[in-house]
Structure formats: structure tokens, C-alpha cells
Structure 1
Amino acid sequence: MRVPVVSKEGKLLMPTQPSWARHWLKEGKAVKRRSDVGMFYRQLIVEGGEATQLIAVRVDPGKKCLGIAIRRLRATLFQADLILCFDRVRFSMKQRRIIHRWGQFLAGKVFLMARNRGLLISDSRPSLTCPEVGLSWR
């Protein structure tokens, strides 16, 4: 676990270990702060080094989970595995396909029943119109 650090001017610095953050608090070199979103960090009171390191973000896309890692040269700052909702989407698509097929089947049955009863039907879309009764179905 790393503790975020901010310079005296408010510039973001490299995160540090909790032991260093406690050490800076005891010596009076840093103070505790919270951001607007409630994130806890340390702000340096004294002038410190402004050196930063390169950080790399890696994303490993997969079918059922997605891996994300934020690393610097010698340490991993953040790592997470996001489980995707692939199974739930596949189930929903299957349900949709079944409902669509049943809808086509029922529309065909309604078309045949209407033709047998002598109702007027347009062939472009499955719809019913009965001028005598004022019935309309789409």
C-alpha cells in the first residue's frame, strides 16, 4: 500500500510507503490532508525533491475478466481484475433471440388466422386492420 504525497505548492509527487509518511508526520515535515472526494494524502510542509518517475499503465483484455496494473520501475502501485458480465450478456441475448423467434411465430399465426377470417392485412408489415370493427394491430 502506498500513500499519495503532494508538494508544498500542491504538485503531485510519487506515492510513498506508510512508514515514511508516519516518519514525516512525527518530524513535522508533512501534514494530513483529505481531497474533495475524501481521498487521504500527505502534503509536505518543507521543500522536497521534485523528481518523479515514469509510470506505466497496462491493460490485459480477456473474455471473462480484464486486468489493469499501474507500475513504476520497481513496484506495483495499483492492480485490479475486473470481472466482465459476459455470461449475463450471453444469457440476455439468448432470451432476446427466443422472444424474437416466438414473436415471428405468433405474428405468422395471427396472419393466418386473420386471412382465414377475411380480415384485411398488409403484406409489408405484420399488421391487422378490420374496418368493420375498427380493429388495428401492429
Structure 2
Amino acid sequence: MLDLILLIDDDDTTNFLNKRLLEEMQVAKEILVYNNGKDAIEYLSEACAENNTSDKICPDLIFLDIKMPVMDGFSFLDEYQQRNLDSKDHVIIMMLTSSASFYDLERLKNYNRVKKHYSKTLTKHDVQEVLQQFFSNR
């Protein structure tokens, strides 16, 4: 079982459905939802800091939407790298999209932390695939 999964998406319905699926599958002790990348970066800046003294924990897995207001998925990934939040090697990022353009998918290849992209909303098969591929030791 994972300690924490972050869902970062501006679509409340998608967040509700994804969170419900993850809870039903009992894959994580905790699931946090953020409606934009900026709020998620603020959480991660504290939770994933080397000298973290808060009770916030760095997630094992992040599902990140590409197109969001305030801070989109690509801006999030840039900020994540700039702040060196990817120094904790265990964090896996999966992109979520409702309309993956060729340009977006090519651009994702620039981010080694992003392992794959999935269409919204997640399915049981998607989650099982992620767990098997990246967390089989848990």
C-alpha cells in the first residue's frame, strides 16, 4: 500500500471519480486532491524538502492533469524540477489528459519523472498497471 497519492486536476468530477476508484481499490493510506499545480507545488515544497519537519509526507505517486488554469501540468513539471523536488527518486508522476495532442505527448518526453500518460478518468486496469510496473515491491 502506498502512503500518499496526489491528484492534481482542475476538474472536480474527474477528481471525485479518480479518488473514489483509488479508495475502493485501497491503494494508498491517503489521497490528496489539488485543483491546480500552484497549490500542489506549495504542498510538495514543504513535504518533499530535505529538512521537512512538518507532518506532511512526500507522495509516492502523482496523477497530474496537463491542461489546468493557474498552473498547467507543464509549468508544474518545470517548477518541480527547478525547486529540485524530484530529488526524492521514489516519486512517480503520471499525466492525465482528456485530449492528448501529439505536441503535448512529445513535450512530455523532456521530463524523466513522467512515466506515462493516461486518458481521463482512470480505470481499475490503469491503476493496476501503475502499481505493477512501479510499486510491485510493496
Q: Which has the higher contact order (CA 8 A, sep 6+)?
A: 2
TM exceeding 0.5: no
TM-score (norm 2): 0.19
- Structure number, greater radius of gyration: 1
Considering fraction of residues, name the structure with more strand: 1
**What TM-score comes out, normalization by structure 1 length?**
0.19
Of Structure 1 and Structure 2, the greater helix share is in 2
